[in-house]
Amino acid sequence: MALKEITPPAEEPITTSEAKLSPSLRVATATDDTAIGTLITTARKLAETYTLHALVTQTWELVLDGFPTGGIVVPLPPLQSVTSIKYIDTDGTEQTLDALLYSVDDDSIPGLIVPAYGETWPTTRDEVNAVRVRFVAGFGDASDVPEDIKSWIKIMVGTMYDNPQGIVVGQTVMSIPRTFVDGLLDDYRYKAIQFR
């Protein structure tokens, strides 16, 4: 199984201006805007890794060696939609599975794709990467990302900005605080693990 990013988010959960105004940063000049933008992207990726969620709308491809016995568990909730399911048939030809032949459960976390009522998965050629599921995931645009996740990102941006080396002379600085701050992500992390 492999997971490949096809289209990254078009925007980050918070803007550079929002990060600069947050109590954890409070930067008034534009001198470090590029660096702060990079830190926002880094913090977003850390949040996605920690929670196993996609935050802002993005497109991914899940690559499997064949169809599973049951449903296809789609990682990186919340699942917005399934763009296509392609597979290599027994003759070695790539086919696109008709969307009427499967059902998508985008309410569950993570999402699930199952054969439609009365249908079964087609037989694939016995080779690696025989099935490719392209899907769109994320809460939506930046305004749809939950505020507690945005707060975590702001705190992380401030922490990384103030401690770019991760270590201050005479004192070790944790790159990710493990107390109240990570608690902001716990509800999303719990949901991701609960259904694995």
pLDDT, residue 22, reads 85
Nearest to 75 by CA among 38, 112, 124, 27: 112
53 against 185, higher pLDDT: 53
Q: Are 66 and 130 in contact (CB under 8 A)?
A: yes
Q: Which of 106-115, 125-134, 164-173 bottoms out in mean pLDDT, i.e. has the lowest?
A: 164-173
Nearest to 112 by CA among 71, 63, 159: 71
Q: Are 58 and 196 in contact (CB under 8 A)?
A: no
Q: Are 43 and 160 in contact (CB under 8 A)?
A: yes
- What does the pLDDT look like over 66-90, one tens digit per residue? 999 989 999 999 999 999 999 999 9
pTM summary value: 0.85
